[in-house]
Amino acid sequence: MYSSLKGKHLLNTQDWSVEEIEKLLAVAKRLKQERELDILHDDILRAKTFFMLFFEESTRTRNSFECGVHQLGGNANYLTPEATQIDHGETAKDTIKVLQRYGEGIGIRRTYANGNRYMKDVAKFSDIPVINMQCEDYHPTQALADLLTIKEKFQNYIQNKKFVVSWTYAPNYIRPISMPQSLILLMTRFGMDVTLAHPQEFHMKEDILSQAKQNAKEAGVNFEVKHDMEAAFEDADIVYPKSWGPVVYTDDEQEGLDLIEKYPEWVVDQDKMNLTKDNSLYMHCMPADRDIEVTSEVLDGPNSVIFDEAENRLHINKALMVTTMAGL
């Protein structure tokens, strides 16, 4: 049934049709149910290897893939540029041409220095599936886990649910825009009315905005941009407040940090959550800056589904490996 996904890359959810994503979600749901029933599925990827190439460290991404491939009976190889010849200048082509002789899939995380272009170079020469574990533009595996979580919480009744992606204040360093961009692209394709909220300087890339608008048009839903956090939160079904840097507005790091400090009021507290619907969801990909960008009252409150979200990274990533590496 899922053989059409075998060998398919995932660099961006736009690369997959709605039908293919629904198939992926169905596999994730099945694998999750089996794990809850203590049913082993450790023969699906037996003797298969998934390479994990990390240009920076990770908690949820690394562990969800590493635990996932183990539960499927396969092996995870953790790679870094420093521990390979990549730091010495080996090309994407030469790296993948060798690794594909050893294993059946590869994930790459590179959120800076043209990470997306590097992944495209790897995929161009790869005969095994290449999974984007986050780049500067996209974080598809997290967005897919978020979609799975929303569908679970609303029993699949998500049509015209108001989904809000909002910037939040979080100081000290410039965070990538891959998360909000992936969210506005994916959720507009699955029947939700999407609102993107941020201060003026923290806008997305124009081509991403255009694609989100087109997605919404094709799905018959609304997509809008607001520059008022409270107005965006009003009557929301799902809020996803997340910090990112003004990387489209400026490439000067100090200017970016100064711009973040202009908007300390863009934080999530219970007063803002009270603007949303009673059964609304608070979501965050984590790590969240506790009591800085969001209060502990909200983070630990009844609307928060952050740990369910984090768990679903495991099930989505297992489903990705099953469908693209085994084709089941």
Q: Which of 121, 145, 153 is nearest to 21 (CA)?
A: 145
Residues near 207 by Cβ (< 8 Å), separated by ≥ 6? none
Residues 194-224: tens digit of each pLDDT = 999 999 999 999 999 999 999 999 999 999 9
In angstroms, the CA 45 to CA 49 distance is 8
CATH of 3-139+312-326, one of 3.30.230.70, 3.40.640.10, 3.40.50.1370, 1.10.540.10: 3.40.50.1370
Structure tokens at 39: 């049913």
pLDDT at 2 over 50: no
Residues 284-304: tens digit of each pLDDT = 999 999 999 999 999 999 999
Residues 17-53: tens digit of each pLDDT = 999 999 999 999 999 999 999 999 999 999 999 999 9
Q: Mean pLDDT across the stretch 148-175?
A: 97
Residues 220-258: tens digit of each pLDDT = 999 999 999 999 999 999 999 999 999 999 999 999 999
Q: Which of 266, 281, 278, 309 is nearest to 192 (CA)?
A: 281
Q: Which helix (H) or strand (E) holds 52?
A: strand 49-54
Specify the residue for token string 């920076």: 56
* 3 state SS of 150: helix
Residue ranges of the chain assigned to CATH 3.40.50.1370: 3-139+312-326, 142-308
Q: Measured in whole angstroms, how far is the alpha carbon of residue 43 from the centre of its chain?
A: 27
Second-level CATH architecture of 142-308 = 3-Layer(aba) Sandwich (3.40)
Q: Which of 1, 63, 56 is nearest to 26 (CA)?
A: 1
pLDDT at 264: 98
Residues near 103 by Cβ (< 8 Å), separated by ≥ 6? 48, 49, 50, 51, 75, 77, 128
Residues 79-118: tens digit of each pLDDT = 999 999 999 999 999 999 999 999 999 999 999 989 999 9
pLDDT at 187: 98
* 3 state SS of 118: helix
